[in-house]
Amino acid sequence: MSRLAQAKLANWRYPPRRAPTNVSILRAASRDVCDARLTRIQETRVTSSVVTADTLAEFSDAFNRHDANALMDFMTEDCVFDAATGLDVHGKRFVGREAVRAAFEAVFETFPDAHWGHGRHYVASERGVSEWVFTGTHAQGWRIEAEGCDLFEFRDGLIAVKRAFRKERPKQPADGAAPCASTAF
């Protein structure tokens, strides 16, 4: 090899912004391995929690049908429901399937046209969130329309805990007149 060829070889560098073929192949292979690992992680998360956003949508549909039996099919035997209202810091708490069923049925009796609309549902591992707008006419004749959400905890593919939260708004007259006196602070 000539001195000129040796000098060129000693000072030769890869052209800017272009890696040699073998480095490109290694980078591509590394990306494939990372993608495969990420896919396995995502599949594991999906299979480790049977509850999905679609499950929460079905649960919400059962609420809108006022179907207490269907709702209880989603709940564990020792389920807990923290209502949006009540004297305790967590609202009124109901424990066990029969107590929770009775609480749900009481809502349906108190608000015969109760509806949870505009639902958006999210699940992350063993927890979930449902966002909604609650509308209904109280048995005493006033109406409510307020945003709210449920925070869920899951166990064995069922809802173990449901915590309800709802905006506090003035009671609305059923006839669409001005709101009743505010209870907000």
At 163, which CATH number? 3.10.450.50
Is there a single domain that holds both residue 38 and residue 91? no
Domain of residue 142: give its range: 53-173
Is there a single domain that holds both residue 43 and residue 78? no
Q: Does 9 map to a domain?
A: no
Percent of the chain with pLDDT over 90: 63
Lowest mean pLDDT among 13-27, 71-85, 113-127: 13-27
Name the average pLDDT for the chain.
82
Q: What is the pLDDT of residues 102-150, one digit of tens each?
A: 999 999 999 999 999 999 999 999 999 999 999 999 999 999 999 999 9
Is there a single domain that holds both residue 66 and residue 23? no
Is there a single domain that holds both residue 104 and residue 155? yes
Is there a single domain that holds both residue 128 and residue 152? yes
For residues 2 and 23, the model is more confident at: 2
Mean of the pLDDT values across residues 86-111?
Answer: 97
SS (H, E, C) the chain: CCHHHHHHHHHCCCCCCCCCHHHHHHHHHHHHHHHHHHHHHHHHHHHHCCCCHHHHHHHHHHHHCCCHHHHHHCEEEEEEEECCCCCCCCCCEEECHHHHHHHHHHHHHHCCCCEEEEEEEEEECCEEEEEEEEEEECCCCEEEEEEEEEEEEEECCEEEEEEEEECCCCCEECCCCCCCCCCCC
For residues 48 and 153, the model is more confident at: 153
For residues 183 and 97, the model is more confident at: 97
Is there a single domain that holds both residue 29 and residue 62? no
Which pLDDT band, with edges at 50, 70 and 90, does 174 fall under? confident
Q: Does 68 map to a domain?
A: yes
Q: Does 156 map to a domain?
A: yes
Neighbour-count burial of 53, counting CB atoms closer than 10 A to its CB (0-12 exposed, 13-18 middle, 19+ buried): middle
Q: Does 23 map to a domain?
A: yes
Is there a single domain that holds both residue 41 and residue 86? no
Q: Does 180 map to a domain?
A: no
Q: Does 2 map to a domain?
A: no
pTM confidence score: 0.69
Q: Does 1 map to a domain?
A: no
Which pLDDT belongs to residue 50? 86
Which pLDDT belongs to residue 10? 59
150 has which bridge partners? 130, 164
Is there a single domain that holds both residue 80 and residue 162? yes
Which pLDDT band, with edges at 50, 70 and 90, does 34 fall under? low
Is there a single domain that holds both residue 59 and residue 25? no
> How many distinct structural domains can be found in the chain?
2
Is there a single domain that holds both residue 162 and residue 120? yes
CB atoms within 10 A of CB 40: 10
Domain edge (last residue) among 48, 66, 90: 48
Is there a single domain that holds both residue 27 and residue 88? no
Is there a single domain that holds both residue 87 and residue 134? yes
Q: Does 114 map to a domain?
A: yes
